[in-house]
Amino acid sequence: MFKWIIQWQLDKATSKGGLVVQKIDSALAIKDCKGQPYNLPLENYDPKWYPFWEAWEIPKGKQVTNLKITETGGGDDVYVSKVGVTSSTGSHVISGTAEFFESAKLADTTFKVANKPPAGQLPMTKTEPQLAGGAGAIPHNFTAMWDCCTKGKKTTGATEVAPK
How much is the pLDDT for 75? 77
Where are the domains positioned within the chain? 2-161
Mean pLDDT by 10 residues, the chain (164 residues): 81 96 94 87 84 96 78 68 75 92 96 91 94 93 84 52 54
pLDDT, position 79? 79
Euclidean distance between CA atoms 54 and 110, whole angstroms: 10
Closest Cα to residue 20, out of 98, 92, 86?
98
**What is the C-alpha to C-alpha distance for residues 146 and 125, in angstroms, rounded to an integer?**
31
Hey, what amino acid is at 112?
K
pTM (predicted TM-score)? 0.84
Q: What is the DSSP letter of 69?
A: H
Exposed/middle/buried for 64, CB within 10 Å: 0-12, 13-18, 19+? Answer: middle
Instruction: Provide the pLDDT for residue 73.
Output: 53
CB neighbours (10 Å) of residue 110?
14
Secondary structure (DSSP) of 76-106:
SEEEEE----SSEEEEEEEEEEEEEEET--G
What is the distance between the alpha carbons of residues 12 and 34, in angstroms, rounded to a whole number?
52
- Give pLDDT, residue 112: 96
> Which residues sit opposite 89 in a β-bridge?
31, 147
DSSP H or E run through 24: strand 18-32
Helix, strand or coil, per DSSP, at residue 115: coil
Angstrom distance (rounded) from CA 113 to CA 93: 24
Peptide bond before 51: cis, by omega within 30 degrees of 0?
yes
Other C-beta atoms within 10 Å of 121: how many?
A: 11
